[in-house]
C-alpha cells in the first residue's frame, strides 16, 4: 500500500462523515452517519498491498471483501483473492467502506467491504502520478491520464507498478511482491449531467510471497522475546531453494516449478458501467463484469516447531545428520482458475413527498472455476536464512494426505429491495430483503466414494479414485430492519438487525468431506444512542452477533505414539478435519468523531465484547489410532480481542496536515482451550502532508511508530492442551506486523 493510499484513506474517512452529514440534512433529519463510515480498511499493519479485515466479533477468514464499479472484484473471496487484481490509488474516483447493512443486501453476508469506483474521463484533460518509496527498497509508481476526445466521449489510461523486496529480504526471490496493473477505459458522458457509461479493461500480473513469519520465544505470560540471532520482521525465515517439488494431485507424478511462477496470478477484467438519470427522477444503474484469471499459489503456512535428534532421520541435502530445532511447514500448491460473469441492474428513486428513498436490484452471477491443490510437509532449520532439511532422504513428505480438487459451475440469481422511510421529522425506518437461488454443479473427490479417501500419495490418477458429481441447489436469504428516533435535535435512539443465511459454495467441495448442506445463518443486532451536532458525531450501542453451523477446517498437531502413515513414533503429524460449530459475541461499541475547533478532529472507537465458541465438540483420530475428545463450548474465540480501541487525530493548517492512527488490541488466545495467549498490542501509524501548490504535494508516513513486533499465530501442537506449563520459554513461529517503516510519496496533478 502506498503512502498516498494511507493518507487519502484517512482523509476519506473524515470526508465520508461530512458528506453523509450533508446528505442526511437533505434527506433525513434523524439519520446519523454511524460507525460504518468511519471504518478505514486501507491502513493494514500486516500488509502494504491488502485492505485490512475488521471483525464484528466472529473469526475472520479469507481476505477483506472488495467491490469495484458495483460488483465484487472476485466471484469468491478465496483462491484468486480480490487484492490480486485491485489496488487503491489514482485510477479510482473514490474508495469508501460498505457497512454490514450494505453487504447484507449486496452480497448476502454480514461484513465490512471496500467499495471503489474507477476513474472515467471527464470534460478536461487530467493527469495524476504518485511515486512512493521506503527504506527497505520498495518503489511504487501509480499513474493515470484521462482526456475527452469529443462529443462526450473520453478515454482514461492507468498503470500501477510495485517493486517490493519486503523488510525481511528472502534469498529465494529478489522481490516479495511484484505487481503490474494496466487499466484503460472508454466512456461516454451524457448531456445535461444525466450520467456516464463506460467500458473498463484491466490486466493484472501479481506475484506475491506471503512470508511474514519468524521464530520467537513464547515466554508463557503472554509476552514474547526474540530468539537469539533472529530479528523478527527483518531476517529471512525461508530456505534459499528457488524450486518447489510436489506430487501433482492431477497426474500422480512429481512436478517442479520455480517459486516465483508458483506464486503468480494473471487476471483479465472487463467491466461495463452505466449510471443514468431518468426523466421521472429515478436512477438506473447497470454493471456487468467478465473475469478470466489463473492462479498459482504455493505459500507455506507455519506448523509446529519440534526437536530432532540424530536418530530422528533429519539431514541436510548432502546427507549430513541434523540435530536441533526443526520448523515444520505445510505447503498447499494451488493450480486454480476463475472465469466469471456477473451482472446487475438497479433502479432507485425518491417518492414525490420525499419521505421514501427506495431501491431494487436484480443480479445474475455465473462462475466457472476449479483447482488442483497438491499438499506436502517440509522442514527447515530454526534460524536466520535456514537450510532445507531432508527426512529419510526426502525434501517433502505426507504428499497429498490433504489435497483438494473441484471443477464446476456455480449459478447465482438474486434480487433485493430496500426502502428508507422518513416517517416524521424525528422517526426514520429502513427495511431490506434479499432472496437468492444458488446452484452448484461439477465434479469433486468427496467421501461419497470410498476410493477418494486422502492418504500419502493420493492423486486423481490412482486406481479406485472416482471423482463424484455435484448438483446441489439452495435458497439463500437475507434481510435487515433498522430505526432511528430523535428524542431531541441531534440526539436519539437507534437500532438495527441484520440476518443472512448462506449455503456451501463450489470451493467448499474441494476437500474429502462432502460439505454440509445446512445453511450457515448469521444474525447481527446493535442498538443504542446517537448524538450529533457541529462538534461531535457519536453512537454508542450494544452489539450481538451469532453464527450457526459455522464451517472450519482446523489443523491439529499430534506427536505419534508409534510408527504410522510413513512417519516414525515421536514425529509430529498434522491432521486437518472438517468441523461445524456455533459462535456468539455480546459487546458494546462507542464510535465518535469530535471536531473541537477548525482544522482539528479526532475519531475514537472503543469496543468491549466477549467472543465465544458454542456447541463446539470434536474428536480427532490420528494415524497411530489415538482419538481425543474435546469440548470448546463457551471458550473464547482464538485471535479475537475482548477490547479494541482506535484513536485517529488529524490537524490541518495552512498547507500542512498532520495525522496519527493508533489501534489497541487486548490479549488474544492462541489455542482453542484458552490455556495460552498473547498480550495486548498496538498498531500505530502517522504522517505529515504538505501541499506545495495545486500541482505538487508531498507526504511522509510511518508504519508501526512504536516498532512493536506484533507477534501472533498459533502453537499447533498446543491447540488441544490444557496445561500451559510445557510452553513456558517455548520456541514457536508465527506472523508479525510490518516493522518500523518510513514511506515518502510525491504526488503530481496536472
Nearest to 607 by CA among 626, 585, 627, 622: 585
Residues of the chain with pLDDT under 50: 1-38
Identify the sign of the CA torsion 439, 441, 446, 448: positive
Nearest to 590 by CA among 543, 527, 541: 541
Non-local (6+) Cβ contacts of 619 within 8 A are 627, 628, 629, 630
Q: What is the pLDDT of residue 42?
A: 59
* Beta strands per DSSP E along 598-693: 600-614, 617-618, 630-631, 643-653, 656-665, 668-669, 677-678, 681-691
Q: Which residues pair with 556 in a beta bridge?
A: 575
SS3 breakdown of the chain: % helix, strand, coil, rounded to 5?
10, 55, 35
The residue whose grid cell reads 474435546 is 630
H-run or E-run covering 23: helix 3-27
The dihedral over CA atoms of 234, 236, 242, 244, expressed in degrees to the nearest 10, equals -120
Non-local (6+) Cβ contacts of 197 within 8 A are 187, 188, 190, 272, 273, 274, 275, 276
Q: What is the pLDDT of residue 36?
A: 47
Q: Do strands 113-118 and 65-68 pair parallel, antiparallel, or not at all (unpaired)?
A: parallel
**Size (the chain), residues:** 750
Q: What is the pLDDT of residue 16?
A: 32
Q: What is the pLDDT of residue 716?
A: 63
Contact 347, 360 (CB under 8 A): yes
Q: What is the pLDDT of residue 717?
A: 61
User: Which SS3 state, helix, strand or coil, does residue 27 take?
Assistant: helix
**How many whole angstroms separate alpha carbon 289 and alpha carbon 338?**
13
**How many whole angstroms separate alpha carbon 420 and alpha carbon 472?**
36
Non-local (6+) Cβ contacts of 3 within 8 A are 132, 687, 699, 700, 701, 743, 744, 745
Q: What is the pLDDT of residue 45?
A: 61
Which long-range contacts (C-beta less than 8 Å, at least 24 apart) are formed by 227-235? 227/382, 227/731, 229/383, 229/384, 230/383, 230/384, 231/384, 232/709, 232/711, 232/736, 232/739, 233/167, 233/168, 233/709, 233/736, 233/737, 233/738, 233/739, 234/167, 234/168, 234/739, 235/168, 235/384, 235/385
What phi, psi does 127 have (nearest 5°)? -135, 140
**121-131: burial string, b at 16+ Cβ within 10 Å, e else:** bbeeebebebb
In angstroms, what CA-CA distances link 378 with 286, 390, 557, 675?
Answer: 49, 8, 15, 28
Q: What is the pLDDT of residue 44?
A: 60
In angstroms, what CA-CA distances link 162 with 107, 139, 206, 259, 534?
Answer: 30, 6, 10, 19, 42
Q: What is the pLDDT of residue 1?
A: 42
Chain center to CA of 1:
14
**How many whole angstroms separate alpha carbon 214 and alpha carbon 226?**
10
What is the CA angle 688-691-693, rounded to 5? 170
Contact 676, 670 (CB under 8 A): yes
Reported pTM: 0.87
User: Which SS3 state, helix, strand or coil, does residue 19 take?
Assistant: helix
Amino acid at each position: 500500500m502506498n503512502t498516498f493510499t494511507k493518507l487519502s484513506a484517512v482523509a476519506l474517512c473524515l470526508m465520508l462523515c461530512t458528506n453523509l452529514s450533508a446528505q442526511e440534512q437533505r434527506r433525513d433529519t434523524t439519520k446519523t452517519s454511524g460507525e460504518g463510515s468511519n471504518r478505514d480498511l486501507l491502513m493494514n499493519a500486516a500488509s502494504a498491498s491488502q485492505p485490512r479485515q475488521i471483525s464484528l466479533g466472529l473469526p475472520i477468514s479469507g481476505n477483506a471483501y472488495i467491490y469495484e464499479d458495483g460488483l465484487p472484484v472476485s466471484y469468491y473471496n478465496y483462491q484468486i483473492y480480490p487484492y490480486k487484481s485491485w489496488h487503491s490509488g489514482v485510477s479510482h474516483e473514490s474508495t469508501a467502506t460498505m457497512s454490514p447493512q450494505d453487504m447484507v443486501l449486496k452480497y448476502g453476508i454480514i461484513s465490512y467491504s471496500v467499495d471503489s469506483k474507477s476513474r472515467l474521463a471527464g470534460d478536461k484533460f487530467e493527469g495524476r502520478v504518485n511515486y512512493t518509496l521506503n527504506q527497505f527498497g520498495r518503489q511504487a509508481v501509480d499513474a493515470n491520464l484521462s482526456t475527452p476526445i469529443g462529443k462526450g466521449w473520453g478515454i482514461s489510461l492507468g498503470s500501477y507498478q510495485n517493486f517490493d523486496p519486503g523488510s525481511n529480504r528472502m534469498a529465494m526471490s529478489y522481490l516479495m511482491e511484484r505487481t503490474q496493473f494496466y487499466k484503460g477505459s472508454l466512456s461516454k458522458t451524457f448531456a445535461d449531467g444525466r450520467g456516464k457509461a463506460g467500458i473498463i479493461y484491466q490486466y493484472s500480473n501479481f506475484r506475491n510471497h506471503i512470508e511474514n513469519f519468524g521464530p520467537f520465544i513464547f515466554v508463557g505470560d503472554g509476552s514474547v522475546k526474540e530468539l537469539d540471532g533472529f530479528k523478527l520482521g527483518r531476517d529471512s525465515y525461508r530456505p534459499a531453494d528457488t524450486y518447489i517439488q510436489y506430487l501433482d494431485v492431477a497426474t500422480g507424478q512429481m512436478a517442479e516449478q520455480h517459486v516465483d511462477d508458483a506464486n503468480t496470478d494473471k487476471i483479465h477484467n472487463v467491466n461495463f458501467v452505466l449510471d443514468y438519470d431518468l426523466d421521472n427522477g429515478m436512477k438506473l444503474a447497470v454493471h456487468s463484469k467478465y473475469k478470466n484469471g489463473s492462479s498459482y499459489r504455493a505459500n507455506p503456512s507455519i506448523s509446529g516447531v519440534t526437536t530432532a535428534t540424530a536418530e530422528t532421520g533429519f539431514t541436510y541435502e548432502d546427507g549430513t545428520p541434523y540435530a536441533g530445532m526443526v520448523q515444520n511447514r505445510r505447503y498447499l500448491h494451488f493450480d486454480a482458475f476463475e472465469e466469471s460473469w456477473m451482472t446487475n441492474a438497479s433502479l432507485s428513486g425518491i417518492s414525490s413527498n420525499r419521505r421514501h428513498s427506495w431501491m431494487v436490484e436484480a443480479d445474475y452471477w455465473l462462475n466457472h472455476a476449479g483447482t488442483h491443490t497438491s499438499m506436502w510437509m517440509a522442514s527447515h532449520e530454526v534460524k536466520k536464512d535456514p537450510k532445507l532439511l531432508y527426512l529419510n532422504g526426502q525434501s517433502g513428505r505426507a504428499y497429498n494426505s490433504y489435497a483438494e480438487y473441484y471443477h464446476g459451475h456455480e449459478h447465482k440469481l438474486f434480487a433485493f429491495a430496500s426502502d428508507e422511510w422518513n416517517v416524521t421529522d424525528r422517526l426514520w425506518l429502513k427495511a431490506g430483503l434479499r432472496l437468492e437461488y444458488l446452484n452448484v454443479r461439477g465434479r469433486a473427490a468427496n467421501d461419497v466414494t470410498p476410493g477418494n479417501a486422502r492418504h500419502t500419495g493420493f492423486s486423481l490418477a490412482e486406481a479406485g479414485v472416482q471423482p463424484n458429481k455435484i448438483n446441489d441447489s439452495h435458497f439463500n436469504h437475507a434481510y435487515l430492519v433498522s430505526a432511528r428516533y430523535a428524542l431531541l435535535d441531534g440526539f436519539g435512539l437507534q437500532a438495527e438487525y441484520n440476518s443472512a443465511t448462506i449455503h456451501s459454495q463450489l470451493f467448499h467441495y474441494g476437500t474429502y468431506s462432502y460439505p454440509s448442506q445446512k445453511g450457515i445463518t448469521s444474525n447481527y443486532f446493535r442498538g443504542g444512542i446517537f448524538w450529533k451536532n457541529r462538534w461531535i458525531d457519536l453512537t454508542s450501542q450494544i452489539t450481538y452477533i451469532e453464527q450457526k453451523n459455522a464451517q472450519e477446517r482446523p489443523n491439529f498437531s499430534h506427536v505419534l505414539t508409534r510408527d504410522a502413515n510413513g512417519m516414525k513414533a515421536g514425529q509430529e503429524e498434522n491432521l486437518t478435519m472438517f468441523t461445524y460449530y456455533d459462535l456468539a459475541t455480546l459487546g458494546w461499541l462507542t464510535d465518535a468523531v469530535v471536531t473541537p475547533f477548525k482544522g482539528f478532529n479526532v475519531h475514537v472507537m472503543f469496543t468491549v465484547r466477549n467472543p465465544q465458541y458454542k456447541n463446539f465438540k470434536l474428536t480427532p483420530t490420528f494415524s497411530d489410532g489415538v482419538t481425543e475428545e474435546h469440548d470448546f463450548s463457551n471458550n473464547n474465540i482464538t485471535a479475537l480481542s475482548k477490547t479494541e480501541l482506535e484513536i485517529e487525530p488529524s490537524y490541518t493548517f495552512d498547507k500542512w496536515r498532520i495525522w496519527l492512527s493508533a489501534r489497541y488490541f487486548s490479549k488474544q488466545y492462541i489455542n482453542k482451550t484458552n490455556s495460552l495467549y498473547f498480550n495486548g498490542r498496538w498498531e500505530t501509524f502517522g504522517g505529515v502532508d504538505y501541499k506545495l501548490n495545486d500541482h505538487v504535494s508531498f507526504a511522509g508516513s510511518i508504519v508501526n511508530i512504536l516498532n512493536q513486533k506484533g507477534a501472533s499465530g498459533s502453537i499447533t501442537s498446543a491447540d488441544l492442551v490444557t496445561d500451559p506449563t510445557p510452553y513456558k520459554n517455548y520456541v514457536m513461529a508465527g506472523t508479525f506486523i510490518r516493522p518500523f517503516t518510513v514511506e515518502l510519496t510525491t504526488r503530481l496533478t496536472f
